Structure 1
Amino acid sequence: MTAPPLLRVEIDGRPADAESLLYPATTAYGHFTAMQVRGGATRGLALHLERLRAATWELWERELDGERVRGLVRHALGDTDADASVRVYVHCPEDEPTVMVTVRGPQDMAARPQALQSVAYRRPAAHLKHLGGFGQNYYGQRARAAGFDDVLLVEDDGRVLEGGITNVGFLDSAGVVWPDGPSLAGITMQLVEARLAEAGIASRRGRVMLDGLGAYRAAFVTNSQGLAPVRRIDDTVLPVDEKLMARLGEVYAGVPWDRL
């Protein structure tokens, strides 16, 4: 999916210019979060803020105030409640973290079933949503050139980890299985996972192997743009479980929106 053009970029509440963009443009050390904003609200705001706080401390041992971040996002969105895709980037060029907010038009994941190409690659510091995703972009580009929608990252031994820019879940006879290897705990995945039991769907973390995918009844991916079924991984065709996807869609639709 091609991202909509940038509408606004602010750094610490001020419009970005050549000088303020110099550091972000020349470093790959930092982290970010991505959210969809609808009518001035987003899902999982507390999770986004905690992600940014924890990563800032881990990378630089500096505190990042969530209310400050919230205010900077509101400022970048402007006075309107227009729908948007927002990213919050954190860098630390000197002693204190700087916050860059980018605003684009809204994006939603295409509901059509996805085809994924497996690649032996584990993101460094996989628990962080960090900058410098060359590996994901490189393999993702090659996968799309080969007719796939994205990649599925696996260990050298075939242990499934995550999608290139998604989390992935699998359905077996007991319920939903989330791969338990090193990966990013995506916000959408966390929001859905926390509500599955209440929706009557069992959920667990477990080892998922590439050579055993044919045993699963279905698969799906999640990211900040939503959810989509998976129809194929490499040469393994997976049934699209319309009932499961409808139920997952209901679960996600029931997540409350948090005012920014």
Structure 2
Amino acid sequence: MTTPPPHIEIDGVPATDPGLLAVLMTGFGHFTAMQVRDGRVKGLGLHLARLDRSTRELFGRELDGGRVRALIAGALGTAGVRDGSVRVYVYPDVRVAVTVAAPAPDGPGAPQRLTTVEYWRPAPHIKHLGGFGQSYHREAAGRAGYDEAVLTSPYGEIAEGAITNIAFWDGTSVVWPSAPCLEGITMALLAPRLGSVRRPVTLAGLSGYRAAFVTNSRSIAPVTSIDEVAFAVDEELMERVYAAHDSVEWDEL
């Protein structure tokens, strides 16, 4: 149990629930992010399984999927919307917070220029809070004129983007790096539909790939370069990827 401090203020205004804020301020927990359209979600079962699995690992308790669905539906109802970018956060004592923001633009994402950084996330299989390292590198990439940072090992093995998964096209197969990473829901939905494979991908081997793309809950976008290595936008590949994602059924909350 998190013991709340006796007094908390935010911008000079006393907090109305110090106990809840103390839980949120621990920085320890996990979350999932999803796009909701007309009260429906793609891969809802995967989101619920992720939340339950991580709750069991971090807190030793299960998280009922019915409760999560009700909380999301309730938050959408309170916000008065049927579409949105929704996040579900789980904190100590299995406190669950749901946020609703404007939906991400529908359709293909803009082409991305990426740069590499030597960094792997701790406990990468969990979509955990406290991602200072990846946020730091992504912000630095943005200031340098890039769209995203690609996380690599000291030996040049690629794992993932700071907030994305990355895949490569070798002319025959869609290849996802096999290094430890967070398996995003969009990646999990696409991989079996694209007949893709997982294997080591290195910086030294990038020139052997014809194309690349990144995925997350907000978009799927082609990659035009990683550092000095340029990639053509393979329109046929991207149409196949978009079609695979479009084929995923929507699940009712």
Give the TM-score taking structure 1 as reference length.
0.88
- Tell me if structure 2 keeps the 8 A contact 1:84–1:106: yes
Change (3 A) 1:232 1:129: same
Instruction: Please state if 1:237 is matched with 2:230.
Output: yes
In the alignment, structure 1 residue 176 sits paired with structure 2 residue 169: no
Tell me the residue number matched to 2:102. 105
Deviation per residue, 1:85-141 (Å, 9 max, x gap): 00000001xxx4111000101013762210111000000000000000101111111
Work out whether 1:194 is the aligned partner of 2:188: no
Q: Which aligned pairs between 1:28-47 and structure 2 lie closer than 5 A?
A: 28-47=27-46
Separation in 1 of the partners of 2:218 and 2:156? 27
Structure 1: give runs of 5+ residues left out of the alignment: 1-15, 198-202
SS at match of 1:213: helix
Shift of 1:26: 1.7
- Counterpart CA distance in 2 for 1:258 and 1:169 is 26
SS across alignment from 2:58: helix
The Cα shift of 1:20 comes to 5.4
Q: CA, structure 1 residues 240+133, in 2 after alignment: closer, same or farther (shift >3 Å)? A: same
Give me the whole-angstrom Cα distance separating, in 2, the residues matched to 1:52 and 1:183: 17
Work out the CA distance in 1 between the residues paired with 2:72 and 2:190. 24
Alignment check: 8 A CA contact 2:31 2:88 kept: yes
CA distance in 2, matches of 1:77, 1:83: 8
2:57, 2:109 → 1: CA distance? 35
Q: Distance in 2 between matches of 1:45 and 1:39?
A: 14
1:243-258 alignment runs, 5 A limit: 243-258=236-251
CA contact (8 A) 2:35 2:217 kept: yes
Distance in 1 separating the partners of 2:150 and 2:95: 32
Contact 1:44 1:191 in 2 (8 A): yes
Give the 3 Å change call, closer, same or farther, for CA 53–242 of structure 1 in structure 2.
same
AA paired with 1:91? Y
Aligned residue pairs total 237
Alignment partner for residue 216 of structure 1, among 173, 184, 209?
209
Within 2, Cα distance between the matches of 1:54 and 1:213?
A: 34
How far apart are 1:18 and its partner, in Å? 4.4
Q: Tell me how far apart the structure 1 counterparts of residues 20 and 87 of structure 2 sit (CA, whole Å).
A: 15
Cα distance in 2 for partners of 1:86, 1:23 equals 23
Q: Separation in 1 of the partners of 2:23 and 2:37? A: 27
d(CA) in 2 for partners of 1:58, 1:122: 20
Q: Provide structure 2 residue ranges, at least 5 long, that are not aligned to the other structure.
A: 1-14
Deviation at 1:82, TM superposition (A): 2.3
Residue of 140, 148, 172 corresponding to 1:142: 140
SS in 1 for 2:113: strand
* 1:23 aligned residue: 22
| Cα displacement (A) at 1:60 | 1.2
Q: Deviation of residue 17 (structure 1)?
A: 5.2
Aligned 8 A contact 2:24 2:91 in 1:
no
Given that 2:35 and 2:84 are in contact with CA atoms closer than 8 Å, whether structure 1 keeps it comes out as yes
TM-score with structure 2 setting the length: 0.90
- Deviations along 1:134-174, one digit per CA (max 9) or x if unpaired, are 01111111101111001000001000000010000000032
1:83-162 equivalence runs, <5 A: 83-92=83-92, 96-108=93-105, 111-162=109-160
Q: Residues 38-58 of structure 1: CA distance to partner in whole angstroms, max 9, x if unpaired?
A: 000010000000000000000
Larger CA deviation: 43-52 vs 77-86: 77-86
Superposition RMSD on alpha carbons, in Å? Answer: 1.5
